[in-house]
A = this chain, B = another copy of it.
Amino acid sequence: MTYSNKRVLLSKRPDALPPADTWAHDVQQITDCPEGHFIVEQHFISLDPAMRGWMRNVRSYIPPVGIDEVMRAGSVGKIVASNHPSFPVGKTVVGTGGVQQYAVTDGKGWHLNPLPDAMMPKALGVLGMPGFTAYFGLLEIGKPQEGDTVLVSGGSGAVGSVVGQIAKLKGCRVVGIAGGAKKCAYMKETLGFDEVIDYKAGPVFKAIRAACPDGVNVYFDNVGGDILDNALANLAPKARVVICGAISQYNQTKPAGPSNYLSLLVNRATMEGFVVFDFAKRYGEAAQQMGAWMQEGKLHSQEDVYQGIENFHETFLRLFSGEKLGKLILQVKD
């Protein structure tokens, strides 16, 4: 048995938007499946904004990816060889297999995927990390109450689209922010948000003020920068600001801080960060609830799937250019 494994390695640490030479491509020959291990033929890998953070050599919630190591990424695929009793050949599994075609693993951090194969990409989206991030971030940190106005940035993205829909299911008024008419139409027509704001179309402060005349009770932030600042300027008393990410800032050497943060004082408001891994023991609960909502037709999800591990670099950049709709995924199985 030999598997030719095309891999993408982190070659350099970029300061700004990663150039192509951030990555090195190679092919590894896998000839052995060690005792207690199994080999996953990876079908899809997940492209997430958090990956940009994992490339930085700073203290964070997990160690950075090392230079010349396979780039870290979530993935889903099928077991093609196994010396592990709990992970037999033929099963579909989800884990953090990295940007490569085959992953050899002892199973730590992997789990069997209960979804049918046709839904494999959803295990990286609404029924995976981004979905769980939306679920726990909104419900546990944002604590929306019925009748609240919930504002979400990146509202057409993998996390934001789920945040807004769960907020609707909880009886909130939902306002989504995204860039461009296509994403705004998606939020309004497909996701059912009450109001949408195209941040490329005009001043964001005025648009938020108009869409949220009584102020924002929960702001779920995926983007940072000016949009965060303008959301802070429109908080309602006792508002909760959920810091989930800051995609506008990930390629800045010195991120911009929210200059309107004193709105937290004026409005007795809270800004709180979280990391979805802290809720790992409750992923089952989230998967069950969201699966039920999907079956009832109450939760829509969309994956934007690109092809070929060779196209990793260009596809990864779509996270930052905004040229994708929903969950960004790369199919790496040739």
Binding site for B on A (CB under 8 A): 59-61, 224, 229, 243-246, 249, 254-275, 278
Q: Does the CB pair A60–B273 fall under 8 Å?
A: no
Copies in the complex: 2
In the bound complex, residues from chain B placing their C-beta under 8 Å from that of A244 are 265
Contact between B272 and A264, CB atoms less than 8 A apart? yes
- For A265, the chain B residues whose CB sits under 8 A away are 61, 243-245, 273-275
Within the assembled complex, what's the spacing in Å between the Cα atoms of A274 and B265?
A: 5
A243–B264 CB distance below 8 A: yes
A243, A246, A265 — which one has the most chain B CB atoms within 10 A of its CB?
A: A265
Give min CB distance, A266 to chain B, whole Å. 5
Whole-angstrom distance between the alpha carbons of A59 and B233 in the complex?
A: 10
Q: A254-B259, A257-B229, A261-B243 are in contact. Are A270 and B270 (CB under 8 A)?
A: yes
Beyond A271-B272, A272-B271, whether A259 also contacts B255 by CB under 8 A is yes
Nearest-Cβ distance from residue A140 to partner chain B, whole angstroms:
11
Say how far A274's CB is from chain B's closest CB, in angstroms. 5
Residue contact A269 to B273, C-beta cutoff 8 Å: yes
Chain B hits for A269, CB < 8 A: 272-273
Contact partner, A246, options B262, B267, B271, Cβ 8 Å: B262
How far is B249's CA from A224's CA once the two chains are assembled, in angstroms? 21
**Inter-chain contact A273/B278, CB cutoff 8 Å:** no
Closest to A275 in B: B268
